[in-house]
Amino acid sequence: MESEAPKLLDYVTLGIALWGALLASIVFGWNLYRDLSDRGKLKVHCYIGLIIQPGVGVTKEDLVCWQVTNVGRQPILLTSVRP
């Protein structure tokens, strides 16, 4: 007669199943977080600038300049800038 006591193989199988379930849960959570937080991000820097042409010098002074950089993963189309 066989013993009803759990065998070593049963514990190994249970350990692998638990490890797989834990790993799958972590991966699912990470993918959910990544997809929900995947938005376009812009870095905007505003400064006063000049237009200087070689041989002519300063042609226009005190211009408001915007430097907009996409730092997110999604492409962004900038259509207007409002101060």
> pLDDT in tens for each of the 83 residues of the chain?
456 667 888 899 999 999 999 999 999 999 999 888 888 888 999 898 888 888 887 788 888 888 999 988 888 888 887 76
Q: What share of the chain is helix, strand, coil (3-state, %, to 5)?
A: 35, 30, 35
Question: Are the beta carbons of 41 and 72 closer than 8 angstroms?
Answer: yes
- Residue ranges per structural domain of the chain: 1-38, 40-73
Q: Taking the CA of residue 36 as centre, how many other CA atoms within 13 Å lie in the half-sphere pointing to its CB?
A: 6
pLDDT value, residue 56: 83
